[in-house]
Amino acid sequence: MKFLVTGGTGFIGSHVSERLLRDGNRVVIVDDFNDFYDPAIKQRNLARIQAVGRVKLHTADIVDKAAMDRVFAAEKFDAIIHLAARAGVRPSIEQPLLYTQTNVTGTMNLLECARAAGIRKFVFASSSSVYGINSKIPFSESDPIFKPISPYAATKLAGEALCHTYHHLYGMDMTCLRFFTVYGPSQRPDLAIHKFARLIAAGKPIEIFGDGSTRRDYTFIDDIVEGIMACVRGAFGYEIFNLGNSHTVELRQLVGLIESALGRKAIVERRPEQPGDVPVTFADVSKARRMLGYDPKTKIEQGIGKFVEWFQRPS
């Protein structure tokens, strides 16, 4: 099969692109190499992908409809895995218009291109952020999600709604995946585990917002990739799946695990809780287990060890 992977040189996208190539598929990547973090990191990810197999790259912004039209005119795809997005809760509060343009308009552009090209299979990367401050734990796909508390969460919720619309109107096979705090080798430098490891290793202070009791459902990248591959293999009409580890870890416990793996103690600076942050994320993955055969295998202790092993490897 021939896949379009948007954001294919990013953290999750590069792992997905590698896996598709290893499975014998053809891969086309669209990525704009923006400066949200150092574009050289994405270039290194691209080199890692290219070491696995031949991949075609289009350097373009999904917000640019004319550019997307050119990509779809030049290529014929069997399926789209849409991972490109502006990510992060706190930056979205600072730049809500940018997040809306990329995550909503960009998604609409891809849906329109897919519809016009007759592409039926579309996998959309959503986020656990859509649950907001959910009153029920663990979070289930059937929970009401109409109270997002950040622009980022709202844009992901809008993306899910657009996908449903295109399934309803045009019969496209739409799968929306709510990722829960993905981590692992090649993780973005702005994300907590990578940032903490970098600062602790350098003997610099880390910022802890709140009292350290917030809990996250940290999910190792290999498990996320397995869930995405299961979606690619099946046909679901329109479905939403949680992809998480279904186990929560307190922030202070996470710091302790990173300290142990690095063999260094953290210098902690306490900060007030941040707007847009949620106290807990916790995935009910029973639907994904039942329909996808999804079975997360990497416990946080193993995953942090694998991340630190990658982090300490000479670049």
* Backbone φ, ψ for residue 38 (5° rounding): -55, 115
In sequence order, the 6+-apart residues with CB closer than 8 A to the CB of 109 are 62, 63, 64, 65, 68
C-beta pairs of 256-264 under 8 Å, 24+ apart in sequence: 257/300, 257/301, 257/304, 258/193, 258/196, 258/197, 258/200, 258/304, 258/308, 259/200, 261/304, 261/305, 261/307, 261/308, 262/197, 262/200, 262/201, 262/308, 262/312, 264/200, 264/201, 264/203
Active site residue 152: yes
Q: Please identify which residue in the block is written with the tokens 């996998």.
A: 123
Burial classification of residue 125, based on how many CB atoms lie within 10 Å of its CB (0-12 exposed, 13-18 middle, 19 or more buried): buried
Query: What residue type is assigned to position 50 of the chain?
Result: Q
Is the separation of the CB atoms in 49 and 13 below 8 Å? no
Active-site annotation holder among 152, 166, 183, 218: 152
Token pair listed for 295: 């079975």
Residue 217 backbone class (left: φ over 0; alpha: ψ -120 to 50; beta: rest) = beta
Helical packing angle, 11-22 and 221-233, nearest 10°: 60
Q: Which helix (H) or strand (E) holds 90?
A: helix 89-94
Report the alpha-carbon distance of residue 208 to residue 223 in Å, rounded. 27
Report the alpha-carbon distance of residue 195 to residue 253 in Å, rounded. 16
Token pair listed for 7: 């954001």
Token pair listed for 208: 């802890």
**Active-site annotation, residues:** 152
